[in-house]
Structure 1
Amino acid sequence: MAGFTAFVLSRARAHRLLLTAAVLAVLLTTAVLATLTAYSGAIGDAALRHSLRDPRTAAGTTLVVRADIPAAGRAAADAAVRERARTAFDGLPVIVRGLVRSGPYALPRALQPAAERSGDPGLTYFAALDPAEVRLVAGRLPRPTATGELEAALPRSAAQRLRIGPGALLTLEDRLDGPRARVRITGLYRPARADAPYWRLDDLGGRGVRKVDFTTYGPLLADPSVLTGGKVSAGQTAWQASADFSTLTTGRTGALRGAVRAGAAALRTAAGAGGTAEVSTSLPDVLDRIDRSLLVARSTLLIAALQLALLAGYALLLVARLLSSERAGETRLLRARGGSRARLAALAATEALLLALPAVAVLLLAVGVAVAQAWWTGRRGSVRELRAGDAG
Structure 2
Amino acid sequence: MTLFVLLRLRAHRVLMAASLVVVLLATTLLATLALFAQSVGDAALRHALGDQGGSGATLVVGTEVPAGQEETADRVVRREAAASFGGLPVTVRAFPQSGTYALPAGLGGRAAPGGKPDLTQFAALDASRVRVVAGTLPHGSAASGPLPVALPQRVARQWDLAPGAEFEVTDRAGGKKLAVRVTGVYRPADTTDPYWQADPLRGRGARTVSFTTYGPLAVSTGAMASGRLAAGTSSWVAVADTRGVRTGDTGALRRASVAGAERLRTEAALGGSARVRDGLPELLDRFATTLGVYRSTLLIVAVQLVLLALCALVLVAQLLSAERAGHTGLLRHRGASRARVAGLAGAEALAVVVPALVVAPLLAGPLARLLVERSSLADSGLRLAYGATPLVWLVSVGFAVVCGVVLTGALAAGSGAGRGRAGALPGFLRAGADLGLLVAAGLAFWQLAGQGPRE
Whether these two folds match at TM > 0.5 is yes
- Deviations along 1:272-329, one digit per CA (max 9) or x if unpaired, are 5446421221111111111221221111111111101110111111112111222222
Q: Structure 1 209/115 Cα, relative in aligned 2: closer, same or farther at 3 Å? A: closer
**Structure 1 gap segments, 5+ residues each:** 384-392
Conserved 8 A contact 1:67-1:271: no
Q: Structure 1 375/74 Cα, relative in aligned 2: closer, same or farther at 3 Å? A: farther
Map 1:308-387 onto structure 2 (within 5 A): 308-367=305-364, 369=366, 381=382
1:125 is paired with a residue of what secondary structure? strand
For 1:125, give the aligned amino acid: Q
Distance in 2 (CA, whole Å) between partners of 1:129 and 1:26 is 62
Give the structure 1 partner of residue 120 of structure 2.
124
Match for residue 196 of structure 1 among 193, 212, 224: 193
For 1:140, give the aligned amino acid: T
State the Cα distance separating 1:242 from its structure 2 match. 1.7
Match for residue 184 of structure 2 among 184, 187, 196: 187
Distance in 2 (CA, whole Å) between partners of 1:375 and 1:76 is 50
For 1:109, give the aligned amino acid: A
Match for residue 212 of structure 1 among 199, 209, 221: 209
367-376 or 294-303: which moved more? 367-376
Conserved 8 A contact 2:118-2:211: yes
Q: Does 1:261 align with 2:258?
A: yes
TM-score normalised by L of structure 1: 0.88
TM-score normalised by L of structure 2: 0.77
Q: Does 1:79 align with 2:75?
A: yes
Q: Structure 1 14/173 Cα, relative in aligned 2: closer, same or farther at 3 Å? A: same
**RMSD (Å), alpha carbons:** 2.7
Match for residue 287 of structure 1 among 271, 276, 284: 284
For 2:63, give the aligned amino acid: A
State the Cα distance separating 1:333 from its structure 2 match. 3.1
For 2:258, give the aligned amino acid: R
Distance in 2 (CA, whole Å) between partners of 1:98 and 1:373 is 45
**Structure 2 gap segments, 5+ residues each:** 385-455
Conserved 8 A contact 2:72-2:269: no
Map 1:143-292 onto structure 2 (within 5 A): 143-144=139-140, 145-270=142-267, 273-274=270-271, 276-292=273-289
State the Cα distance separating 1:36 from its structure 2 match. 1.3
State the Cα distance separating 1:42 from its structure 2 match. 2.8
State the Cα distance separating 1:337 from its structure 2 match. 4.0
261-270 or 135-144: which moved more? 261-270
State the Cα distance separating 1:370 from its structure 2 match. 6.7
Distance in 2 (CA, whole Å) between partners of 1:370 and 1:316 is 23
State the Cα distance separating 1:368 from its structure 2 match. 5.4
For 1:128, give the aligned amino acid: A
Give the structure 2 partner of residue 59 of structure 1.
55
Match for residue 84 of structure 2 among 77, 85, 88: 88
Distance in 2 (CA, whole Å) between partners of 1:330 and 1:348 is 12
Conserved 8 A contact 2:143-2:223: no
Q: Does 1:304 align with 2:282?
A: no
How many pairs were matched up? Answer: 379
Distance in 1 (CA, whole Å) between partners of 2:111 and 2:31 is 74
Q: Structure 1 254/118 Cα, relative in aligned 2: closer, same or farther at 3 Å? A: closer
Q: Structure 1 168/312 Cα, relative in aligned 2: closer, same or farther at 3 Å? A: same
Distance in 1 (CA, whole Å) between partners of 2:277 and 2:96 is 18
1:219 is paired with a residue of what secondary structure? strand
- Deviations along 1:153-208, one digit per CA (max 9) or x if unpaired, are 00001111111121111111222233211111111101111111111111111000
Give the structure 2 partner of residue 386 of structure 1.
none
Q: Structure 1 211/272 Cα, relative in aligned 2: closer, same or farther at 3 Å? A: farther
Q: Does 1:108 align with 2:98?
A: no
Q: Structure 1 157/382 Cα, relative in aligned 2: closer, same or farther at 3 Å? A: farther
Give the structure 1 partner of residue 37 of structure 2.
40
Conserved 8 A contact 2:57-2:280: yes
Whose relative contact order is higher, 1 or 2, with alpha carbons under 8 Å and at least 6 apart? 1
2:83 is paired with a residue of what secondary structure? coil
Q: Structure 1 118/283 Cα, relative in aligned 2: closer, same or farther at 3 Å? A: closer
For 2:253, give the aligned amino acid: L
